[in-house]
Amino acid sequence: MSKEEIRKYGLDLGVDVIGFASLEGYKSERSPDPRSILPKAKSIIVLGHRMIDGALDSNNPRVNMVGRMGVMDTSKNHLYLFARFIEKKYKARTSPVLSSYPLDMEAPTLGLRGDISLRHAAIAAGLGVFGRHHLVIHPIHGSRLSFTGLLTELPLASDPPLKEELCIDCDLCVQACPGKALDVEGRTEELKCLRASQPYGIGSAVGYIRKFIGKSPEEQQTLLKDPRFMSLYQASFIGFQYACFKCIAVCPIGEMCP
């Protein structure tokens, strides 16, 4: 078994970067124990896909989201193929971890925690360091990587950690955040971020339903023709529809296509 053989398989698929982290090197205090997902897990293989620069930099939120959907669909496909490769070749079970939904919506996490912190896994796999925006900064791709992961029973050693400090403390991400979610250094205020980045999320949907209940038939017809209702309807089958990627887009590290 060779990490480089595994890495080559992923790179040949089209994955941009691949790192390895042993479970001993993975630390995320707010996430569940990975062995609650895969009891005999020994390591995490982290896959990074570069986002589309022209989608991130566009002022059109629909184009932003198309880029997001593309990287999610591609990474999901690669994750499945990678898991099948590991299981067939090495006879070791794997559990795929996506970058976003489905999420645990039960208390206490309420959809705000992933089953695996892919940011912390990427750091443990030597793929970057944290920036002021609390996202991972890669030395080549900057903040423009979307991470997925494979928990595996394979005993893979961690790649060397990245020790270079990449964040230049320019505070562009802080200034660009419309929700002021990064104003307090050292944390992201998640609800502020969600309100700004998901204007058609579950909170808005619940608010619109409440507005609809008890209205006269004529008022309800007006509400059903409202463009906001149509946007909420569209988001209901897209999934978590983001309308803000500014903290990623303004980061000057890795902003040019490699």
**Same domain flag for 155 and 209:** no
Statement to judge: residues 122 and 228 lie in one domain: no
Most confident of 25-39, 99-113, 194-208: 25-39
User: Please, which pLDDT band fits residue 241 given cuts at 50, 70 and 90?
Assistant: confident
Does a structural domain hold residue 213? Answer: yes
Structural domain includes residue 56: yes
* Residue 204 and residue 136 share a domain: no
Q: The whole model's pTM is what?
A: 0.89
38: pLDDT confidence band, cut at 50, 70 and 90? very high
- What CATH code is carried by the domain that includes residue 131? 3.40.109
% residues pLDDT > 90 (the chain): 67
Domain co-membership, 86 together with 16: yes
Domain that holds residue 71: 3-166
Which residues 6+ apart lie within 8 Å of 183 measured at CB? 174, 177, 189
> Looking at residue 153, what is its pLDDT?
97
Lowest mean pLDDT among 104-118, 168-182, 238-252: 104-118
Q: Is the pLDDT of residue 123 over 60?
A: yes
The mean pLDDT of the chain is 91
- Per-residue pLDDT, averaged over 169-188, amounts to 92
In a domain, 122, yes or no: yes
What's the number of domains the chain is made of?
2
With 70 as the cut, is the pLDDT of residue 111 above it?
Answer: no
Q: How far is residue 248's CA from residue 242's CA, in Å, rounded to a whole number?
A: 13
Is 57 domain-assigned? yes
